[in-house]
Amino acid sequence: MKLTDLEPQFKRIASSGHYENVATPAEAQGIRFLCPKCFVKNGGNVGTHLILIWFRDRSVPADALPGPGRWIATGTGYADLTMSPSINLENPDHVGCQWHGFVTNGEVE
């Protein structure tokens, strides 16, 4: 599935501490998008939770949640964004969808 299907938004932390949308990955500190596993399960309907990923080397505070993970992001926009390593929501102590996947060249697997 394409990342663009998951309503992505590039984010950065504003001086107020709230998140704000930005237009490009160059100015972003992270990205938020709908969970692909729940999106498919729910048939693309409302009710799918959001995933927030912070990028490495973008001055994200160490205590910013979610954490502590940070991802390497490359690309010029949603259509060619690649993040590594994989995104792993698997956590035996957390009741949730447990999605584990990749964003590679704008495709979510």
The residue ranges of every structural domain in the chain are 3-108
Burial string for 72-93 (b: 16+ CB within 10 Å, else e) reads ebebeebeebbbeeebebeeee
The size of the chain, in residues, is: 109
pTM over 0.85: yes
CA torsion through residues 54, 20, 104, 80, sign = negative
Radius of gyration for the chain, computed over Cα atoms and rounded to the nearest angstrom: 13
In whole angstroms, what is the distance from residue 108 CA to residue 41 CA?
Answer: 15
Task: State pLDDT tens for residues 28-70.
Answer: 999 999 999 988 777 776 667 889 999 999 999 998 888 888 9
